Amino acid sequence: MIRYVLIEFLAVAALGMTLVCAVVRPFGRAEAWFAVPAAGVVILAGALPLAEVEEEAARLGPVIGFLAAVLVLAQLCADEGLFHACGTWMARWARRRPRRLLGAVFTLASLITAALSLDATVVLLTPVVFATAARMGARPAPHVYASAHLSNTASLLLPVSNLTNLLAFTAAGLSFTRFALLMLLPWLVAIAVEYVVFRRYFAADLDAPAEPVAAEEPPELPLFALVTVCLTLAGFAVASAVGIDPAWAAAAGAAVLAVRALSRRHTTPAALVRATHWPFLLFVLCLGIIVRAVVDHGLGDALARVLPDGSSLPALLGTAALAALLANLINNLPAVLALLPLAAPSGPGAVLAVLIGVNIGPNLTYTGSLATLLWRRIALQHGHDVRLREFTVLGLLTTPLALAGATVALWVGLRGWGY
């Protein structure tokens, strides 16, 4: 009994240390520097038998490979100039009107998040949004906060939009197309809620006159990159329909752009390896092992007692709310790893409700998702002071409404598809 309690404490301590270090990043080190030894301690202490470690690695391996391919695809699109072209298009379409710029940011951030993952929106689009607002002379706050919120909220649509989606996609047992169809209405509702609140909350900033700093000629649209992304998305659906892992479609799309970039000497093999963000991928694997140990030593039983059963509307609302709360307490990735095995027996509706909670919920706090933490660092690097009070108030105004609206929309979709 004493040994069990000690192991339980050790697993919880390892998870806490890993998450704190992921937030604070002591000495500027990547998350993997702390997650790897923490996972090693958990394994050596016997908190997770080697057989279960191998099982967890086998479960997460294809998901991590998929994520690596999508990250490379997004970086190569940026190298081709796709994001720069998007920024110039936003500025020209807005016509010096900040409200139109907000609409353009919402549109592009939602589409980029859905197609190329939330990391592409945070890392590649956010700097473009800063530059576009500066060229227009517009106040950056509404547009920059939009990229943060939409990197979470707009990641509901496709399995490739978020690492949490990839995990849920596996657990739900849905095809790529069915997943997208079920999440389409929740995605639209959540984005609409965010847009309405943003227009009202940032009314003063959006009504302030824009004073353009410089004009820029529209760059040539990188058609090859755009067509490759579109074909890759189509490949996801086709691969899923014929029983092939969609990771192969992601790898094919990344390979096409990589061969082109290498042949033109626009990139190097080392740059492609860096584009995978392999330390983060290693962090995800180690975090999965640590969370599995915590779930097996008490957290799973505690969550099972409070997680609603079934896919009725009250059950889905309760599941989404619990997932959102857990995401803000321990981060969305550990939350989804802990909740998915418990929600899966109730069917795809419960799994997708968990997903709504862990994707929209993190907009309440800085620590709700790693993407938000990364966005905050990028904002500070561009000289934008992210105030805790403003971030929290905006989260309180948008998150509960978006969470409830998306969950109700999911329930409607489930009824329509006979779940």
Can you tell me the distance from the alpha carbon of 107 to that of 327, in angstroms, rounded to the nearest whole number? 26
Token pair belonging to 66: 């998929």
Please give the pLDDT value at position 213: 59
What is the residue type of 249? Answer: A
Per DSSP, the residues of 60-116 read: HHHHHHHHHHHHHHHHHHHHTTHHHHHHHHHHHHHTT-HHHHHHHHHHHHHHHHHHH
Phi-psi label, residue 209: left if phi above 0, alpha if psi -120 to 50, beta otherwise? beta
Please give the DSSP secondary-structure letter assigned to residue 139: -
End-to-end CA distance of the chain: 43
Per-residue pLDDT of the chain (419 residues; tens, 9 = 90+): 677 678 878 888 888 888 888 777 787 787 889 989 999 999 998 888 888 999 988 888 888 888 888 889 889 988 998 888 888 888 788 777 889 999 999 999 999 999 888 888 988 889 989 988 888 888 899 999 999 999 999 999 999 898 899 889 988 889 889 999 999 999 999 999 999 999 999 999 998 877 765 555 666 778 899 899 899 988 888 887 787 877 888 899 999 999 999 999 999 999 999 988 888 889 889 988 998 888 888 888 889 999 999 899 999 999 999 999 999 988 888 899 899 999 999 999 999 999 999 999 999 987 788 788 778 878 877 777 778 888 999 999 999 999 999 999 999 999 988 77
The pLDDT tens digits for 239-252 are: 877 878 778 888 99
Can you tell me the distance from the alpha carbon of 345 to that of 171, in angstroms, rounded to the nearest whole number? 9
What's the number of CA atoms in the CB half-sphere (13 Å) around residue 101? 35
Distance of CA 310 to the CA centre of its chain: 26
Tally DSSP H helices, then E strands, for the chain: 21, 0
Tally of CB atoms within 10 A around 99: 16
Please give the pLDDT value at position 216: 57
CB 394 within 8 A of CB 201: yes
Angstrom distances, CA of residue 296 to CA of 51, 299, 300, 376: 14, 7, 6, 33
CB 315 within 8 A of CB 309: yes
| Exposure b/e, 193-215, CB count within 10 A at least 16 = b | bbbebbeebbeebbeeebeeeee
